[in-house]
Amino acid sequence: MSGKKYFVLMEDGKDTTQVFVSKQPRGAALKAATRGHTEICLRERGTNKVHCFNGWTEMVDKPRNGPAWLPARIKKANVKKSGTMRI
C-alpha cells in the first residue's frame, strides 16, 4: 500500500476538477498554494472530511546547495491549517 490520498480542491462549497495527490493534506495544500490558491479547502476522496487551509507564496533566495539551473529567487509556498469540516 502506497499511502497516497487524493484531495479534490473545493471552491464555493463545490468540487473543482483539480485533484492533488499526497500522503498528508498539508502536502496537497502546499501544491495548491504553489499554483496560486489562497483559500484552500480540500475534500479527501472516500471520506467525508474537508481540510481547510490559508495559503500564500513568497519569493526567497535559492538554497546554497541548489542546482545551477535554479534561478536566484524561487517561489516558496506556505500554508496554515484553519480547520477540518465534515460534509
| pLDDT tens readout for residues 17-75 | 999 999 999 999 999 999 999 999 999 999 999 999 999 999 999 999 999 999 999 99
Q: Alpha carbon of 82 to those of 25, 50, 56, 73: distances in Å?
A: 12, 11, 13, 29
Confidence of residue 2 (pLDDT cuts 50, 70, 90): confident
Confidence of residue 1 (pLDDT cuts 50, 70, 90): low
**What angle is formed at CA 14 by the lines to CA 40 and CA 11, rounded to 5 degrees?**
30
